[in-house]
Amino acid sequence: TRTLLTGGSGFIASHILDTLLKRGHSVVTTVRSQEKAEQIKTSYPAVSKENLDFVIVPDVSAPDAFDQAVVSDPPFEAVIHTASPFHFRIRDVKKELIDPAIDGTVGILKAVKNNAPSVKRVVITSSGAAVMDFSQSKTYTYTEADWNNMTWDEAVSNPLNAYRASKAFSEKAAWDFMEKEKPRFSLTSMNPPMVYGPIIHHIKELDGLNTSNERIRDIAFGKAKAGCPFTGVFVWVDVRDLALAHVLAIEKPEAAGQRFLVSPGQYTNKDIAEVIQEGFPELRNGLPTGDALKGGDFPPGGWYNWNTTKSKEVLGMTYRSFKECIVDTVNSLKPFVK
Ligand code: NDP
């Protein structure tokens, strides 16, 4: 399937790109600069331009950002939209987090409708942040029927809320678009929780690591020795499984029109420390132990669970173990330690 992937330089998108190519799809990916395109090319020296090509889209929130990117010869049949800000190095939460998320999502749907009539499937990387509203009791199990109904005032009150809202608002805007515009393509949303896993995208140093893996970095390499950070979102998925879920969503017609919670289950930061303790004797001195682990455990009363039956039944997902994920993540980060 000829596929347009947005944000190919990102943590998750680089694995989606890898999975698409391994499963025989041909890909054009958007990146923000020629330099990023060149970096990705070095990972695939044997792949032809017909199977991997690039379009520069410097800012997804620019009006008409995707109007040309969705046009290709041969024409696209599928689009996977991942590009959206997920970091907290910001001053203006509206301009830097919320607007790009919404404008990018609506922008690509509009561009596909107007300029790419051959596209049959669009998959967007939404988030568990668009599902969980934290108003439920701690024993509640979330499903695809749930929505984070955050208000605008709550959204702009701090950067973490703004990120969560950016995902809820943009996914809602996408489903609203489908209802109002009735385009010829179908929409599928992927709703992952904390995504961990080995990095295959290009970073210069560990300071520039993607946001979710910062947690593994901080526990593995000494920053959390005096106190394990609060886990926050106690549900996780391996980036390689999430990438496969995106690709299965363009391959399987049954995925059309669906949201998918993708996760094998719960974890805590304490579990991260314990896997590293067992697997990496050379890192033991920098790990939190004993009382320092307490902050990384489940809070009293437990924490919400997720029902991911739909991902298994419709997409056929099976999930990697937490141990495999953490070990592979740490191994991928070690070369960057100075
Ligand atoms: P990354 O930061 O690695 O990837 C984000 C990608 O989006 C990068 O390619 C980035 O480009 C691009 N991007 C951000 N803002 C813009 C913009 N204004 N214009 C153009 N491109 C932009 O993070 P992830 O891979 O983790 O995130 C990918 C998607 O997954 C996001 O939609 C995120 O919300 C979602 N997600 C992530 C989770 C996680 O735990 N990691 C959990 C749930 C959802 P560049 O690097 O060049 O700035």
Q: Tell me, yes or no, whether 115 lies in a domain.
A: yes
Q: How remote is the CA of residue 165 from the centroid of ligand 1, in Å?
A: 15
Tokens for 325?
A: 């994920």
Q: What is the pLDDT of residues 80-102, one digit of tens each?
A: 999 999 999 889 999 999 999 99
Q: How remote is the CA of residue 87 from the centroid of ligand 1, in Å?
A: 8
Evaluated on CA atoms 306, 309, 315, 321, the torsion sign reads positive
Q: How remote is the CA of residue 80 from the centroid of ligand 1, in Å?
A: 13
Q: How remote is the CA of residue 287 from the centroid of ligand 1, in Å?
A: 29
Domain that holds residue 308: 2-197+237-263+304-318
- In the prediction, which pLDDT does 7 show? 98
Give mean pLDDT, residues 267-293. 96
Q: What is the pLDDT of residues 143-196, one digit of tens each?
A: 999 999 999 999 999 999 999 999 999 999 999 999 999 999 999 999 999 999
pLDDT bracket for residue 137 (50, 70, 90): confident
CA distances for 12 relative to 18, 108, 180, 292, angstroms: 10, 19, 30, 31
Q: Tell me, yes or no, whether 222 lies in a domain.
A: no
Is the pLDDT at 329 greater than 90? The verdict is yes
Residue 212 CA, distance from chain mean position: 9
- In the prediction, which pLDDT does 52 show? 98
Closest atom of ligand 1 relative to the 13 alpha carbon: 25
Q: Tell me, yes or no, whether 279 lies in a domain.
A: no
Q: Tell me, yes or no, whether 83 lies in a domain.
A: yes
Residues with CB under 6 A from ligand 1: 7, 9-13, 32, 36, 59-61, 82-87, 100, 125, 127, 167, 192, 194-195, 210, 212
Q: Tell me, yes or no, whether 268 lies in a domain.
A: no
Q: How many domains does the chain have?
A: 1
Q: Tell me, yes or no, whether 118 lies in a domain.
A: yes
Q: Tell me, yes or no, whether 206 lies in a domain.
A: no
Which residue out of 19, 32, 80, 97 has the highest number of ligand 1 atoms within 8 Å of its CB and is therefore the one to mutate? 32
The CATH number for 10's domain is: 3.40.50.720
Confirm if 69 and 83 have CB atoms less than 8 A apart.
no
Q: How remote is the CA of residue 65 from the centroid of ligand 1, in Å?
A: 16
Q: What is the pLDDT of residues 25-74, one digit of tens each?
A: 999 999 999 999 999 999 999 999 999 999 999 999 999 999 999 999 99
Q: Tell me, yes or no, whether 229 lies in a domain.
A: no
Instruction: Give the CA count within 13 Å in the CB-facing half-sphere of 119.
Output: 27
Closest atom of ligand 1 relative to the 87 alpha carbon: 2
Predicted complex ipTM: 0.99
Q: Whose CA is nearest to atom 44 of ligand 1?
A: 127
Confirm if 17 and 82 have CB atoms less than 8 A apart.
no
Which residue out of 4, 9, 12, 212 has the highest number of ligand 1 atoms within 8 Å of its CB and is therefore the one to mutate? 12
- In the prediction, which pLDDT does 136 show? 85
3-state SS assignment for residue 230: coil
